[in-house]
Amino acid sequence: MRGQETKLFAHIDWGLLGVYFILVFLGISNIYSSVFDPDNPGLFNLNTEHGKQIMWFGVALFLGLVIFFLESNFIRKYAYWFYGFTMLLLVAVLFTKPIHGARSWFGIGSVGIQPSEFAKIGVSLALARFIDLNSNLKERRTTNTAKGLSILWGIIPFISKNKSTALILGIPCSLVLLQPDAGTFIVFTSFLLVLYREGYAGNILLFLVISVIMAVITLIVADSNFMLLFTKIKLSGKTGIIIVLFILSGIFAAIIRSFVMKRNRKPLYRSLIGSFLVAVIFVNFVELGYSNILQPHQKERIDLLLGKIDDPDGKGYNINRAKAAIGSGGFMGKGFKSATLANASQRHVPMQSTDFIFCTWSEERGFLGAFILVGLYTFLLLKMVVVAERQRSVFTRVYAYSVASIFFYHFMINIGMAIGLAPVIGIPLPFFSYGGSSMMSFSVLIFILLKLDSERKIVLQ
Amino acid sequence: MRNVENRKYVIALIFLIIPVIFIVRLFYMQVVDDKWKDRAAQISENRITTYPARGIVYDRNGVKIISNEVYYDIHVIPKQAANTDSVALVKLLGISMEEYVTKMNKARNYSRRKPSEIVRQIPPNEFSQIAPELYKYPGFFEVARTLRVYPKKIAAHVLGYMNEANASDIEKDSYYKSGDYIGRSGIEKMYEKELRGQRGVKYYLQDAIGLSTGKYEDGKYDTLAVQGQNITLSIDWELQAYGEKLMKNKLGSIVAIEPSSGEILAMVSAPTYDPNLLVGRHLGANYGALAEDTLLPLQNRSINSAYPPGSIFKTVMALIGMQEGVITENASFPCNKALAGCHNHPTAQNVSDGVKMSCNPYFIQLVRRIVQQGKDKSIFKDAAIGLDIWAKYVRSFGIGTDLQVDYPTNVHGNVPDAAYYDKHLNFRWAFSTIQSIAIGQGEVLITPLEMANLAAIMANRGYFIPPHFIKSIEGGEIPEVYRTKKYTLVDSAYYEPVIDGMWRVVHEAGGTARRARIDSIEVCGKTGTVENFKRISGKVYQLTDHSNFMAFAPRENPQIAISVFIENSGFGGTWSAPLASLMIEKYITGTVSDTAKENRIINANLIPDADDIIRK
């Protein structure tokens, strides 16, 4: 028996597991502090959020134990099956009764299960499996032969060349949009980081950065007008951007003309024109999407972030209260159970135990606590990169990057929105936000990674 | 695998950049920038102010003349007031339906769960009708607050009134917050700092809908309210009330001072009003009505009006003449009616006669000797030197100077000097030009308070203590200045002939104030009749004369000095003198013996008709 046990926990990465336990412990203590009710002080009371969170942690540990008894090969082999199962759940959930306008929950008694949380595991496994099986195929390596900026419009040939990858990601993305759940959709785009690491579309990140900058500029000027210099012609903001893009293209053309040999100019001109067209289409698309597709509250959140509207007690209520809670924490914080804003009995910060849980932590623990927490997450993310990179198995490496990317997105968006650097998107902070589904799914993601990693020396694939 | 391996560094870099941005941002928000701390305090803390009771004001005999009373504001919590019978409620509260609807809408817009004010400051007698019915209207409840009450309904001008602090008050003194009450005039304003006490503050934590969830930091920053200091005034409320009764249907003033202490015993300005009118929810309307009244009831004529002194000024002239050595007490001047009009009387043989007979030519000749002393060859330069000497003497009697009374005012009389005439006359002047100052007409002005102070100087034979209202401050001291004697420039030895004249004014046949005689008390007084000019659309009309009278009593060890000024009442001896004698008798003996005299005064209506000018 003893030998078996040793084998079961052999080669476990104790550092990763340790950070996991620390985060869970801090998370539960923080929920306890934020919802503490002097009339009902029990830690294990199942009527309280912290009591339930402890229960979910127990369930997660049990799932972890089950995972440790599984064979790695079993996980690999049935990755698609699990993916298929979670996709079925995502389809099934569309037939439930909407809660707060979205069909995201299976209600079982008083307990709610959010299948999109488990879909993240399914997608991670399926993507890992797919890339593992196709690691020899050449076409995914590079996208096309075009160089320079023309990569921007290579996105369409990229999708057509990697239909299967696009499908694996596209199905869950479409399904969560149908719920609708914009937050989870955005989390699914985190897999782009994995694809980047695996050699897909090399400049996809540059492409993303340029598109984000262009989108932000478009959104800032979306509803405004300006007068053309020296004239009285009134132009929309969008037209202004297009004019600027045209001028930039002209400058690039002049540069090409001056510095590039004549015979090499032609393809460059072609990609320049292509880039210009793609950019114009993109700007129009963003403006159209912002003005016509986004729901009013989503538009509001973007306007608030960009500072286009300022309404601290109305539309900006949530974010204003959240920032006040965090900012008032000071260097040392107000102390355990001493939050005066992000606290269940004060109710100033809405959703303070779920989406805005970072507020309670920062208010009570101050900058010191926030620094430690950000540090712990950073350690977790970098540790995952290290774990991923030491794998000989492609499957495990892809899976590890998937987990890292998911955690990174949650970390970036959740804290970013609380401190006013990202729009308000309701996604949980791993191990801190109250919620059974997220506690279980994040734990399972980590446990599977630990299991796969523990066998890195045996697996030779 | 080309250089895909390097991409792990790009990813690791991204995983590092974002947390670094977060840390910088958090450091700025939490440690550097205080904006969010202020915002958090604004959101989560509620400061509740506890108001101390304002200090009580007593009269010189310890009777309350300003006190506090609980008034009631009616508040509503809109959420609880769903099915209100608004018609009945409006009737009960005594407001219009329109007002009710506006206030309710305002309350709902403000908050459905937090209380808003519907009616403010219902006096206790009205609230006793409302209280038993209020339970029928859920969501409506009363909030008590204390306001001023003036139980004796006297001395409105002296006591002053309070209203809400305005923007400039708040700017001047950071103690005041919007909605606070502040003394606006009179004693309420003068002793605001003593009376108001110290506000207390309690800090509470509040939740998102503004309900209290506990004390902030266990009350570490809370302060207790400190009760305002009680003060005692020198006013004798019975004398004051009696004076107001006598001044009914008259325009003018009475000021009574205790000569030995400078304490003001009574200060009446007529017409007056009930100070309780300027308290509570009708303050605005009542104030408006008083402000529009053409008889100027809000004007404190005792302090804030200056009139020519008339003949009472002659007493001062005689004193200056003797001190300056231009006459002796036995100086005699013929009644030369070419100098000024006069009534028929025997020639004044000495100062006492001059005062008793109030001979105009006597005093013009006397003052000429003061002003034209021959110190310069030029008559004009000589007059300027002499007038400045004269003015210095007159000012030493407190006339035209700041008497330092504890009452918010900046009005005082006028004593013209050489500079004054140089400025106001565009021709060369000598005494003959300005001789009417000798008989208290022309450019000389005096306030009734200065006149009473002059009476006190006569009573004290040469000094006064600045007149004041304050007698004692609980836990404080009255200013040193109210215990300091101020001497005139005339030696006390010269006062006796003038006082003798004043005694004869009241007691001898041919005196101008025989009606001021009281059998049991020796009154010394001097009447005055002031010519009353009014400029109406560029033309100057002469109206019925003002009458005044100053007196002190008894002649030895005087207890009271008094000035009475009645506008448009004719000769000084007719109304002012008997009125003053009633006040003196009332104060010294506590009763009035001559009820016929009393009734004559009380029943007289001396308010000028609109056609006063024509009648003249």
pLDDT at B459 over 90: yes
Chain B residue numbers with beta carbons less than 8 Å from the beta carbon of A199 are 1-2, 4, 7
Check CB contact under 8 Å for B2 and A141: yes
CB atoms within 10 A of CB A98: 12
Per-residue confidence (pLDDT) for residue B447, from 0 to 100: 94
- Distance, in angstroms, between A378 CA and closest chain B CA? 7
Per-residue confidence (pLDDT) for residue A350, from 0 to 100: 82
Question: Considering chain A, what is the average pLDDT of its residues?
Answer: 83
Which residues have C-beta within 8 Å of that of residue B72, sequence separation ≥ 6? B121, B122, B124, B127, B130, B142, B143, B144, B145
pLDDT at A390 over 70: yes
Chain B residue numbers with beta carbons less than 8 Å from the beta carbon of A412 are 18
Residue type, A100: H
Closest by CA to A401, choosing from B429, B4, B311, is B4
Per-residue confidence (pLDDT) for residue B267, from 0 to 100: 95
Interface test with A, best of B26, B42, B220 (most A CBs within 10 A): B26
pLDDT tier at B164, thresholds 50, 70, 90? confident
Per-residue confidence (pLDDT) for residue A142, from 0 to 100: 46
Cα-to-chain-centroid distance, residue B212: 44
CB atoms within 10 A of CB A77: 11
Q: Answer with the residue of higher pLDDT: A74 or B570.
A: A74
Chain A residue numbers with beta carbons less than 8 Å from the beta carbon of B208 are 346-348
Cα separation, A346 vs B341, in Å, equals 88
B31 to chain A, any CB pair closer than 8 A? The answer is yes
The structure tokens 């290290």 sit at A386
Residue type, B578: P
Give the pLDDT confidence of A341-374 residue by residue, as tens digits. Answer: 888 777 788 888 889 999 999 999 999 999 999 9
The predicted model gives B402-408 an average pLDDT of 91
The predicted model gives A122-150 an average pLDDT of 67
Q: What angle do CA A328, A332, A338 make, to 5 degrees?
A: 65
Q: Answer with the residue of higher pLDDT: A332 or B208.
A: A332
B23 to chain A, any CB pair closer than 8 A? The answer is yes
Per-residue confidence (pLDDT) for residue B247, from 0 to 100: 92
pLDDT at B499 over 90: yes
- Distance, in angstroms, between B19 CA and closest chain A CA? 6
Q: Which residue of A has its CA nearest to B207?
A: A346
Give the pLDDT confidence of B521-554 residue by residue, as tens digits. Answer: 999 999 988 887 776 777 777 778 888 999 998 9
Give the pLDDT confidence of A399-415 residue by residue, as tens digits. Answer: 999 999 999 999 999 99
Check CB contact under 8 Å for B40 and A328: yes
**Partner residue opposite A389 with nearest CB, options B8, B206, B209:** B8
Which residues have C-beta within 8 Å of that of residue B418, sequence separation ≥ 6? B383, B384, B385, B387, B388, B391
Per-residue confidence (pLDDT) for residue A34, from 0 to 100: 87
Window 43-62 of B: residues touching A by CB (8 A cutoff) are 43-45
Per-residue confidence (pLDDT) for residue B405, from 0 to 100: 92
- Distance, in angstroms, between B103 CA and closest chain A CA? 23
A341 to chain B, any CB pair closer than 8 A? The answer is yes
Instruction: Give me the percent of chain B exceeding a pLDDT of 90.
Output: 44
N- to C-terminal Cα separation, chain B: 123
On whether the CB atoms of residues A355 and A414 are closer than 8 A, the answer is yes
Q: Which residue of A has its CA nearest to B4?
A: A199
pLDDT at A150 over 70: no
The predicted model gives B114-125 an average pLDDT of 83
Per-residue confidence (pLDDT) for residue B387, from 0 to 100: 93
Chain A residue numbers with beta carbons less than 8 Å from the beta carbon of B37 are 327-328, 330
**Partner residue opposite B4 with nearest CB, options A199, A408, A411:** A199
Per-residue confidence (pLDDT) for residue A151, from 0 to 100: 47
For β-strands B57-58 and B231-233, DSSP reports them as: parallel
The first and second tokens of residue A350, run together, are 């809405």
For B483, which DSSP code? G
pLDDT at A387 over 70: yes
Check CB contact under 8 Å for A404 and B15: yes
Check CB contact under 8 Å for B11 and A193: yes
For B29, which DSSP code? I
Which residues have C-beta within 8 Å of that of residue A368, sequence separation ≥ 6? A331, A332, A333
CB atoms within 10 A of CB B215: 14
Check CB contact under 8 Å for B29 and A323: yes
Residue type, B139: G
Secondary structure E strands in B512-608: 524-536, 539-553, 560-566
Check CB contact under 8 Å for A362 and B16: no
Instruction: Give me the percent of chain B exceeding a pLDDT of 70.
Output: 98
Q: Which residue of A has its CA nearest to B211?
A: A346
pLDDT tier at B77, thresholds 50, 70, 90? confident
Per-residue confidence (pLDDT) for residue A5, from 0 to 100: 47
Mean pLDDT is lowest, of A37-41, B253-257, B498-502, for A37-41
Secondary structure E strands in A263-372: none
The first and second tokens of residue A258, run together, are 């001056």
- β-bridge partners, B226: B198
Cα-to-chain-centroid distance, residue A283: 24
Per-residue confidence (pLDDT) for residue A201, from 0 to 100: 60
B164 to chain A, any CB pair closer than 8 A? The answer is no
- Distance, in angstroms, between A331 CA and closest chain B CA? 6
- Distance, in angstroms, between B88 CA and closest chain A CA? 37
Give the pLDDT confidence of A21-33 residue by residue, as tens digits. Answer: 999 999 999 999 9
Give the pLDDT confidence of A184-195 residue by residue, as tens digits. Answer: 888 998 888 888
The predicted model gives A230-256 an average pLDDT of 82
Report the length, in residues, of chain A.
461
- Distance, in angstroms, between A284 CA and closest chain B CA? 29
Check CB contact under 8 Å for B22 and A340: no
Per-residue confidence (pLDDT) for residue B498, from 0 to 100: 94
Count of CB contacts below 8 A, A vs B? 122
Check CB contact under 8 Å for A346 and B37: no
Q: Which residue of A has its CA nearest to B39?
A: A324
Give the range with max mean pLDDT: A202-211, A287-296, B409-418: B409-418
The first and second tokens of residue A158, run together, are 């990229």
Q: Answer with the residue of higher pLDDT: A461 or B415.
A: B415
Chain B residue numbers with beta carbons less than 8 Å from the beta carbon of A328 are 36-37, 39-41
The predicted model gives A164-181 an average pLDDT of 88
Check CB contact under 8 Å for B26 and A370: yes
Give the pLDDT confidence of B15-41 residue by residue, as tens digits. Answer: 999 999 999 999 999 998 888 888 888
Window 197-226 of B: residues touching A by CB (8 A cutoff) are 205-209, 213, 216
Q: For the stretch A436-449, what's the b/e string if a residue is b when 16 or more beta carbons lie within 10 angstroms of its beta carbon?
A: bbbbbbbbbbbbbb
Per-residue confidence (pLDDT) for residue A152, from 0 to 100: 46
pLDDT tier at A157, thresholds 50, 70, 90? low
* Ramachandran angles phi, psi of B373, nearest 5°: -90, 0
Report the length, in residues, of chain B.
616
Q: Answer with the residue of higher pLDDT: A177 or A134.
A: A177
Which residues have C-beta within 8 Å of that of residue B362, sequence separation ≥ 6? B333, B335, B348, B354
- Distance, in angstroms, between B110 CA and closest chain A CA? 13
**Partner residue opposite A385 with nearest CB, options B8, B18, B213:** B8
Question: Considering chain B, what is the average pLDDT of its residues?
Answer: 88
Per-residue confidence (pLDDT) for residue B611, from 0 to 100: 57
- Distance, in angstroms, between B139 CA and closest chain A CA? 24
pLDDT at B249 over 80: yes
A220 to chain B, any CB pair closer than 8 A? The answer is no
The first and second tokens of residue B170, run together, are 């708040």
For B482, which DSSP code? G
- Distance, in angstroms, between B75 CA and closest chain A CA? 25
pLDDT at A143 over 60: no
Chain A residue numbers with beta carbons less than 8 Å from the beta carbon of B206 are 346
- Distance, in angstroms, between A152 CA and closest chain B CA? 19
pLDDT at B567 over 80: yes
